[in-house]
Amino acid sequence: MWLPPRWVRRVVLAPAVVVLALAVLATLPVWLLFALLASWLIAARGRARPGAPTNPLRPFRLLWIVAVYLAVDAAALLALFGLWLASGFGWKDGSPTFQRAYYALTGWFLRVLFRQSSWALRVSVAVQGPDPDVAAPGRPELVVCRHAGPGDSFLLIHALVNWYAREPRIVLKDTLQWDPAIDVLLNRLPSRFIAASGGRRRSRLASGGDRGRTVEDEIAELATGLDENDAFVIFPEGGNFTPFRRIRAIERLHALGLHAMARRAEAMENVLAPRPGGLLAALDAAPDAGVVFVAHTGLERMLSVADVWRELPMDKRITMRWWVVPPGEVPAGRQERIDWLYDWWARIDQWIGVNTPAEHRV
């Protein structure tokens, strides 16, 4: 997907979001009238077609989510602009003081979105596991998570920052830079934006750099020098789970001649075949780090705006499960690590199958 140059995102997109947020807030009574009309039409459709799924409050809930997101995005952008000025036009952005400030802003941004989304969507989150504080600071951790929708990225980083006082270093798709607040904030924190180009995955260093370097090179650099409260976050599947992507990932393994891995992927019904290269690079760069595997259910059907509209209000619980592997239990050899990753992915697949109600499956 095409991404505008950085100067366009800074000079055009970021100010446009602030102006749009102010415009929406200023005209909120008008939007409420539109929501009221939409609610009346939904109710009329329900009366005309008995048994059709209807919820007249859906327009109000969606309007609230959009308005809050725009307001929070705009507020974050204004705060980021103020911090940029205070740092000497970005001169001291990398200093410990400003890095802590940016992580604090990240926590606020995600905390507000989590609370308001939970209220509007009527969603709760439960954490399974013998010790839910396993991700608390004490040693560096590599956090390896399945991917099943844009909401899981926000939820995971919210948990790490606001529940477990971690400072995440994140590997994520470059298309998320279309959101100006995410773009500016994560370009000032340790992050790597991964892009697909010419059929071969490449990376774009968040703060610039050599685009000819491989994804593994950038990931290894990002995972170097983790301290006791850092959490390196990676999604080995490389994209949200869908049945079509699952089949395509299996076909890709067969095309590469990796038939044993393809057969293992065929046995997993709820996850995509993991791509081990990034995690292997991170393990080599951070040998003293533990590994936290994260699985969740409840967001599988929330892949687009249309899905959000259909599911409102969700009235469901998102269940998260955390497993911790101490550094001493991580295999040493490359092939052993690949097999180990596939073993964990099979375990995650099984957990998802047990904990996902049939009506929530994709």
Express each pLDDT in 179-214 by its tens digit. 999 999 999 999 998 875 433 444 444 444 455 678
In this structure, the number of other CB atoms found within 10 A of the CB of residue 161 comes to 21
pLDDT of residue 50: 58
Distance CA 213, CA 338 (A): 23
Angle (CA) 85 184 176, round 5°: 175
Angle (CA) 203 204 210, round 5°: 95
The residue type at 116: Q
- The DSSP code for 75 is H
- The owner of tokens 């109600």 is 357
Distance CA 296, CA 317 (A): 10
Express each pLDDT in 213-270 by its tens digit. 788 999 999 999 999 999 999 999 988 888 899 999 999 999 999 999 999 999 999 9
| Across 48-52, 142-146, 329-333, least confident range | 48-52
Distance CA 138, CA 5 (A): 39
Distance CA 214, CA 61 (A): 42
Please, which residues bridge with residue 182 across strands?
none
Express each pLDDT in 269-297 by its tens digit. 999 999 999 999 999 999 999 999 999 88
Q: What share of the chain has pLDDT > 70, as a percent? A: 83
Residue 100 phi/psi, 5° resolution?
Answer: -65, -40
Q: Which of 348, 213, 207 is nearest to 291 (CA)?
A: 348
Express each pLDDT in 86-117 by its tens digit. 999 999 999 999 999 999 999 999 999 999 98
Please, which residues bridge with residue 155 across strands?
none
Three-state SS letters, 86-145: HCCCCCCCCCHHHHHHHHHHHHHHHHHHHHHHHHHHCEEEEEECCCCCCCCCCCCEEEEE
Share the mean pLDDT of the chain: 86
- The owner of tokens 């089949």 is 247
Q: Report whether pLDDT(42) > 90.
A: no
In this structure, the number of other CB atoms found within 10 A of the CB of residue 8 comes to 11
pLDDT of residue 205: 43
| Across 98-102, 114-118, 303-307, 350-354, least confident range | 303-307
pLDDT (average), residues 167-178: 91
* Residue 62 binned pLDDT confidence (cut-offs 50, 70, 90): confident
The residue type at 354: V
* Residue 15 binned pLDDT confidence (cut-offs 50, 70, 90): very high
| pTM of the predicted protein model | 0.88
Q: Report whether pLDDT(130) > 60.
A: no
Q: Which of 279, 272, 163, 170 is nearest to 231 (CA)?
A: 170
| Across 133-142, 157-166, 298-307, least confident range | 298-307
Domain ranges of the chain: 92-360
Q: Which of 147, 113, 135, 78 is nearest to 292 (CA)?
A: 135
* Residue 41 binned pLDDT confidence (cut-offs 50, 70, 90): confident
Q: Report whether pLDDT(26) > 50.
A: yes
Long-range contacts formed by 154-157: CB under 8 A, 24+ apart: 154/110, 154/113, 154/114, 155/114, 155/125, 155/296, 155/299, 155/318, 155/320, 156/233, 156/294, 157/106, 157/110, 157/233
Angle (CA) 235 169 171, round 5°: 35
Q: In this structure, are strands 123-128 and 316-325 parallel, antiparallel, or unpaired?
A: parallel
Check if the beta carbon of residue 154 is closer than 8 Å to that of residue 113. yes
pLDDT of residue 201: 47
pLDDT (average), residues 149-175: 88
Annotate 302-356 with DSSP letters as a single string.
-SSHHHHHHH-S--EEEEEEEEEE-GGGS--SHHHHHHHHHHHHHHHHHHHHHHS
Distance CA 310, CA 302 (A): 9
Q: Report whether pLDDT(8) > 70.
A: yes
